Chains A and B, each alone.
Chain A
Amino acid sequence: MSKITISGKSAIVGIGATEFSKRSGRSEMRLAVEAVLAACADAGVDPSEVDGISTYTMDNNPEMEVHRLIGGKALKMFSRIDYGGGAACGPLLQAAMAVATGICECVVVYRAMNERSEYRFGTGVADRGADPTYETAAFGWHSPHGLITPASWVAMSASAYLHKYGATTEDFGRVSVGSRAMAAENPNAWFYQQPVTLEDHQNSRWICEPLRLLDCCQESDGAVACVVVSDERAKELNHKPAYIRGAAQGACDDQQSMTSYYREDITRLTECSLVADQLYRQAGIGPRDIQTAVIYDHFTPYVMTQLEEYGFCQRGEAKDFLRSGEHLLTGSLPINTHGGQLGEAYIHGMNGVAEGVRQIRGQSVNQVDNVQHVLVTAGTGVPTSGLLLGAEN
């Protein structure tokens, strides 16, 4: 049986971003174009070479318009990935497949949004109209009861997790404190030079118990883009390539979007385990071979769950991992070295992909030593995705 793989056949060779703010003052399309042009310049490829684009269904900037504005000549692949931040690594999977199969030579992925200044996700879904679509019916099981925000959807699982494993909200706080410590060193982070303490976390106001304000990511304006080319082309360009050793998506186990309350064990993120298995098999490595990770942090409780599902600790033992500081720069697996979405910015996970690339290059403000592999994860509670970057292919 032939073994078809995408592992090592493509690399992220360029990353670009706008500033991260609460009010960009520019159109989302402009943010998208700025980030894409910056990523192409970083890579050393002419934007007219871009022949593939993949982004999120939630992005408001059509691929054709971005391509037209950057001077693109021929767009041969355009695709969008659904489920909010769960998409994050999905466009990279699209890019890796397109490049590995020869469909495209130069694929750009981007996420550009004025999420804070123009439409805040955190306000919830209370004002949805009544229509007969699947999505409206699905929201209808929860929103009439007041469960209307992403924080509340996560809180329901988090509450069960605390009960089952004897973790505390201070463990959530340890995630928050760790990210803010990383962000404090990152001049591009919104919370640059603004670390917080566990006491600050515990004193922050309730959003939806058991989640406090400092358990929730920021809301941000900004854009991030990446350029993907073949492993061969990558060797000729500006930077040390961040090879795509694995890319995968996952949905399983009575999957719902943010409300998988009907699966047997609601404390799990089974879809993350599905992604992890694929990534490790594609790359031929395991969690012990990873030196640093970007663990999607829209809300702190699911960082704990992901540490377990991706195999960095046993189920229910993320609290011990955090209490011993393994997630800090001095620990065995520094996570979210850019400050995460709690500390740097909430760009739906694409800023985490960029940080993964910087760790491979050796360019992070919180650089980890001897990085061979970086795991990047995507939005959780939804159908999700993951990316495994390598220094070698």
Chain B
Amino acid sequence: MSNALRPRIGVNKDTQFFWDGLKQGKLLIQHCQACDQLQHPPGPCCKHCQSFELDAIESTGRGTIHSFVRMHHPVVPPFESGHPIVLVELEEGTRLIADFINSTPDQVFIGAAVKVAITECDDEVTLALFEPASA
């Protein structure tokens, strides 16, 4: 891997809890106290019932690949050509995009079981990367 830094995360008052959670080793999902629904990406209110009474639950970090790509061009360090990026559907039902690590090509397919690998990429950026469930 190159020493180049990844693109920066975007943190604001609606999303701070998510990034703080990762720094504590937790993958959080925004939860509505009024209607009990989950949502990701998070926002200032619940998209289902418009309540502002929100907190978060900790995800198990387990899920499946809902879709995936292999990024070839342009090559932007630290990413390597052909690296897989997945859309994970968590057990809890929400989805997120993740760089897929520690995998062989035959482990990247729709429906594959995956698990989170919370990774401190640099001083500022800790990400929920994912890897094969068997890794």
Closest chain B residue, CB of each to CB of A211: B69
Q: What's the minimum C-beta distance from A82 to chain B, rounded to whole angstroms?
A: 18
CB of B94 closer than 8 Å to a CB of A: yes
Q: How large is the interface on B (under 10, 10 to 19, 20 to 34, 35 or more residues)?
A: 35 or more
Please name all residues of chain B whose beta carbon is closer than 8 Å to the beta carbon of A124 when the two chains form the complex: 74, 76
- Known contacts: A123-B74, A209-B72, A266-B87. The answer to whether A140 contacts B110 by CB under 8 A is no
- Known contacts: A137-B15, A163-B110, A262-B40. The answer to whether A147 contacts B71 by CB under 8 A is yes
Please name all residues of chain A whose beta carbon is closer than 8 Å to the beta carbon of B76 when the two chains form the complex: 124, 126, 146, 148
Q: How far is the CA of A139 from the CA of B73 in the complex (A)?
A: 18
- Mark A230-262 against chain B: 1 for CB-CB distance below 8 A, else 0: 000000000000000000000000100001011
- Mark A157-169 against chain B: 1 for CB-CB distance below 8 A, else 0: 1011001000000
Q: What's the minimum C-beta distance from A152 to chain B, rounded to whole angstroms?
A: 6
CB of A199 closer than 8 Å to a CB of B: no
Please name all residues of chain A whose beta carbon is closer than 8 Å to the beta carbon of B68 when the two chains form the complex: 156, 159
- Mark B2-28 against chain A: 1 for CB-CB distance below 8 A, else 0: 000011111111110000000000000
Q: How far is the CA of A371 from the CA of B9 in the complex (A)?
A: 50
CB of A122 closer than 8 Å to a CB of B: yes
Q: Are B121 and A144 in contact (CB under 8 A)?
A: yes
- Mark A112-150 against chain B: 1 for CB-CB distance below 8 A, else 0: 000000000011111111111111111111111111110
CB of A198 closer than 8 Å to a CB of B: no
Q: How far is the CA of A117 from the CA of B132 in the complex (A)?
A: 42
Among A131, A133, A143, A160, contact of B67 (Cβ-Cβ < 8 Å): A160
Please name all residues of chain A whose beta carbon is closer than 8 Å to the beta carbon of B10 when the two chains form the complex: 128, 130-133, 135-140
CB of B113 closer than 8 Å to a CB of A: no
Q: What's the minimum C-beta distance from B93 to chain A, rounded to whole angstroms?
A: 10
A-B pairs with lowest CB-CB distance, top 7: A140-B10, A136-B10, A137-B10, A132-B12, A143-B7, A160-B67, A209-B70
CB of A207 closer than 8 Å to a CB of B: yes
Q: How far is the CA of A312 from the CA of B68 in the complex (A)?
A: 28
Q: Are B69 and A160 in contact (CB under 8 A)?
A: no
CB of A222 closer than 8 Å to a CB of B: no
9 contacting pairs across A/B (C-beta < 8 A) = A122-B74, A125-B7, A137-B10, A137-B41, A145-B97, A156-B68, A156-B85, A208-B72, A259-B97
